[in-house]
């Protein structure tokens, strides 16, 4: 760790301080955009087609989704994954569809998909390029979000390839100034501010203020201006004046009136001059305002959260702007965070988007599907209405999965309130696969208005999952993880005392299996026989 001009004592102290990631702060507000109030349902091009996609394939898939009754079953989105875009941006610097494979453009494609009763989704990456080395959106969030909104895109997957993290270092601030886009700024020295944490005044007589503040790195210190006074509400230029230091990037958040946060990114500095100026446009209110300067990045997870939040805000701003420009109803964009689970996105995903990937990419391999399940099933406390753990797209109908494995895969995703994004070739889907992914009973469990993820209430060769439902009933799934048949017994009365499941105590329980239609009555004990890799799901009333 660089000292970055911290006072020597402060630097030594910082090395021994335990830094709690900002991303686990429960006071951060949830991301709200009014969509995905139940888990999104749709189809994505990646699992089957990867880079072999084109306009005709997408339209044929949309037609197949309609013809196979999947729209009626609840599937809404046709999602373009990587390789829809050209390696070129257009003359305005905007994303553009591949000139050969999507010659009529993405806006036109969205209209055609909409005409079939579906919504179009698109993809880029939170990096300098996508995973297939095509144009991505890091640093261009506002521009690209506006392009997507103009096209009518309503689902957006934001990947993690070619990612560049935010620096945990902060600049050396000596003053700020506020102006209304004119040459008459009001300047405030750091001596007009209150310092907290490890922030310290450091002397430099060459600076206009005679000193600067260090110690803002990694959320260890803050500069707070409590008396920034302006005459009227509006947008103002906030200029942060810094002493140049170090050929490495730096970062600051300017938080205004304990509400809106504005990012400032500082490139590596060359020492041709002692000082530099960096600006951001902020909203201030008439009278006194409070501005806090700090760098919240203590970890990789913090960096990711702030970058994904940046794109989430850009999407909301873009859809509102397009609606205003066109005088039409706003079309919010479902925001899918595809960070692969490295930065524990379940801690912060609800603050940044609608859903977040919990693991690396899925494959149509049973052992890998079970590993993804094992990781994701534990994360139920982090999911809520509008915010979901995403164990990745469905592989039902792909690879060499057996019927029982396909049924279990679909059942588990429904129980875990996962997005149901199909990844098979809908044009050639057989009736067996169609019957699985269109099972209205399981989809109803996934789409239940309570939007609570199932909790694993018993772990073993046969796992038992329980999912509370809006009507007071409970879905209970028995999942045989073994490669042989198994017998499982479970006492339903234990769910009465479970605060998360909170099942209502009954003298007699009625259980209906959602795949076979079998009906059972029991005073509490449910005994189930399972074939290898099989799942059975009961609604308990």
Q: Give phi and psi for 456, each to the nearest 5.
A: -75, 115
Question: Mean pLDDT, the chain, as a whole number?
Answer: 97
Instruction: Name the burial class of residue 129, with classes exposed (0-12), middle (13-18) and buried (19+) by CB atoms within 10 angstroms of its CB.
Output: middle
Round to whole Å and give the CA distance between 5 and 25. Answer: 28
Mean pLDDT of the 211-216 span:
98
Strand locations in 363-506 (E): 388-390, 420-422, 455-458, 462-468, 474-480, 486-491
Beta bridge partners of 212: 202
pLDDT reported for residue 223: 98
Q: Is the dihedral of CA 64, 51, 352, 392 positive or negative?
A: positive
pLDDT reported for residue 19: 81
Quick: pLDDT tens for 79-113: 999 999 999 999 999 999 999 999 999 999 999 99
Is residue 1 over pLDDT 90? no
User: What's the start-to-end Cα distance of the chain, in Å?
Assistant: 58
pLDDT reported for residue 17: 85
Is residue 20 over pLDDT 90? no
- Among 1-10, 366-375, 410-419, 447-456, name the one with the lowest average pLDDT: 1-10
pLDDT reported for residue 18: 83
DSSP state letter for 165: P
Quick: pLDDT tens for 476-515: 999 999 999 999 999 999 999 999 999 999 999 999 999 9
Residue pair 261/29 in contact by the 8 Å Cβ criterion: no
pLDDT reported for residue 35: 98
Is residue 428 over pLDDT 90? yes
3-state DSSP call for residue 168? coil
Residue pair 424/397 in contact by the 8 Å Cβ criterion: yes
Round to whole Å and give the CA distance between 449 and 442. Answer: 14
pLDDT reported for residue 157: 99
Residue 128's CB is within 10 A of a number of other CB atoms, namely: 16
Quick: pLDDT tens for 372-423: 999 999 999 999 999 999 999 999 999 999 999 999 999 999 999 999 999 9
Q: How many CA atoms lie within 13 A of 374 on its CB side?
A: 12
Q: What counts of helices (H) and strands (E) characterise the chain?
A: 12, 27
Q: Which residues contact 488 (CB under 8 A, 6 or more apart)?
A: 460, 462, 464, 478, 480, 527, 528, 530
Is residue 168 over pLDDT 90? yes
What is the SS3 assignment for 298-350?
A: CCHHHHHHHHHHHHHHHHHHHHHHHHHHHCCCCCCCEEEECCCCCCCHHHCHH
Long-range pairs for 455-462 at CB < 8 Å and ≥24 separation? 455/380, 455/498, 455/500, 455/501, 456/377, 456/378, 456/380, 457/490, 457/494, 457/495, 457/498, 457/501, 458/490, 460/488, 461/486, 462/486, 462/488, 462/528, 462/530
Round to whole Å and give the CA distance between 457 and 468. Answer: 12
Is residue 364 over pLDDT 90? yes
Q: Give phi and psi for 356, each to the nearest 5.
A: -145, 135
Is residue 309 over pLDDT 90? yes
Round to whole Å and give the CA distance between 330 and 517. Answer: 42
Instruction: Please state at what angle helix 106-115 crosses helix 141-151, rounded to 10 degrees.
Output: 40
3-state DSSP call for residue 177? strand
Quote the percentage of the chain above a pLDDT of 90. Answer: 97
CA-to-CA dists, residue 152 to 66, 114, 146, 327, angstroms = 20, 9, 10, 14
- Tally of residues, the chain: 541
pLDDT reported for residue 111: 98
CA-to-CA dists, residue 461 to 137, 204, 416, angstroms = 44, 68, 19
pLDDT reported for residue 263: 98
CA-to-CA dists, residue 136 to 80, 149, 217, 334, 534, angstroms = 14, 16, 28, 18, 41
Is residue 183 over pLDDT 90? no
Residue pair 332/37 in contact by the 8 Å Cβ criterion: no
> How sure is the predictor about 16, in pLDDT bands with cuts at 50, 70 and 90?
confident
What is the SS3 assignment for 109-157?
A: HHHHHHHCCCEEEEEEECCCECCCCCECCCCCHHHHHHHHHHHCCCEEE
Instruction: Please state at what angle helix 403-415 crosses helix 366-376, rounded to 10 degrees.
Output: 20
Is the pTM value of this prediction over 0.95? yes
Place of tokens 């590993």: 371
Mean pLDDT of the 248-257 span:
98
Q: Is the dihedral of CA 224, 227, 228, 234 positive or negative?
A: positive
Q: Which two tokens stand for residue 265?
A: 């990114």
> How sure is the predictor about 313, in pLDDT bands with cuts at 50, 70 and 90?
very high
Residue 157's CB is within 10 A of a number of other CB atoms, namely: 25
Round to whole Å and give the CA distance between 382 and 438. Answer: 27
Beta bridge partners of 128: none
Round to whole Å and give the CA distance between 515 and 167. Answer: 51
């Amino acid at each position: 760790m660089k000292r970055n001009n911290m006072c020597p004592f402060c630097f030594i102290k910082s090395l021994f301080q335990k830094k709690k990631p900002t991303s686990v702060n429960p006071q951060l507000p949830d991301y709200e955009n009014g969509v995905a109030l139940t888990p999104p349902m749709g189809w994505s091009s990646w699992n089957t087609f990867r880079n072999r996609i084109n306009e005709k394939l997408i339209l044929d898939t949309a037609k197949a989704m309609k013809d196979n009754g999947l729209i009626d079953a609840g599937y809404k989105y046709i999602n373009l994954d990587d390789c829809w875009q050209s390696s070129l941006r257009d003359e305005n610097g905007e994303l553009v569809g591949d000139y050969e494979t999507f010659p009529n453009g993405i806006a036109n494609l969205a209209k055609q998909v909409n005409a079939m009763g579906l919504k179009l989704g698109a993809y880029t990456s939170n990096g300098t390029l996508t995973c297939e080395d095509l144009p991505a959106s890091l640093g261009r969030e506002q521009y690209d979000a506006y392009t997507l909104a103009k096209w009518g895109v309503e689902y957006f997957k934001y990947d993690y390839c070619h990612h560049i993290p935010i620096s945990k270092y902060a600049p050396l601030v000596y003053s700020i100034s506020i102006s209304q886009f004119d040459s008459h700024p009001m300047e405030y020295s750091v001596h007009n501010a209150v310092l907290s944490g490890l922030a310290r005044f450091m002397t430099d007589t060459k600076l206009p203020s005679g000193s600067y503040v260090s110690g803002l790195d990694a959320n260890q210190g803050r500069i707070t201006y409590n008396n920034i006074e302006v005459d009227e509400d509006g947008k103002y230029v906030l200029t942060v004046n810094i002493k140049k230091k170090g050929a490495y990037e730096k970062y600051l958040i300017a938080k205004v009136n304990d509400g809106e946060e504005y990012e400032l990114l500082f490139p590596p500095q060359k020492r041709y001059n002692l000082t530099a100026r960096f600006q951001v446009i902020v909203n201030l209110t008439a009278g006194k305002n409070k501005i806090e300067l700090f760098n919240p990045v203590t970890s990789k997870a913090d960096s990711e959260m702030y970058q994904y939040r940046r794109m989430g805000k850009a999407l909301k701003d873009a859809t509102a702007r397009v609606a205003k420009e066109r005088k039409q109803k706003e079309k919010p964009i479902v925001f899918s965070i595809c960070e692969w689970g490295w930065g524990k996105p379940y801690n912060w995903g609800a603050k940044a988007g609608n859903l977040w990937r919990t693991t690396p990419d899925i494959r149509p391999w049973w052992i890998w599907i079970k590993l993804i399940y094992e990781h994701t099933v534990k994360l139920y406390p982090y999911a809520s209405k509008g915010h979901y753990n995403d164990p990745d797209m469905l592989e039902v109908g792909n690879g060499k999965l057996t019927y029982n494995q396909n049924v279990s895969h679909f059942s588990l995703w429904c129980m875990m309130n996962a997005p149901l994004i199909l990844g098979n070739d809908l044009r050639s889907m057989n009736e067996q696969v169609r019957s699985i992914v269109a099972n209205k009973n399981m989809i109803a469990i996934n789409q239940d208005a309570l939007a609570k993820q199932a909790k694993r209430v018993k772990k073993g060769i046969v796992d038992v999952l329980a999912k509370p439902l809006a009507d007071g009933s409970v879905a209970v799934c028995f999942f045989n993880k073994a490669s042989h048949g198994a017998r499982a017994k479970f006492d339903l009365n234990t769910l009465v005392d479970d605060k998360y499941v909170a099942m209502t105590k009954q003298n007699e329980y009625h259980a209906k299996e959602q795949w076979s239609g079998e009906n059972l009555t029991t005073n509490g004990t449910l005994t189930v026989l399972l074939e290898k890799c099989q799942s059975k799901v009961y609604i308990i009333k």
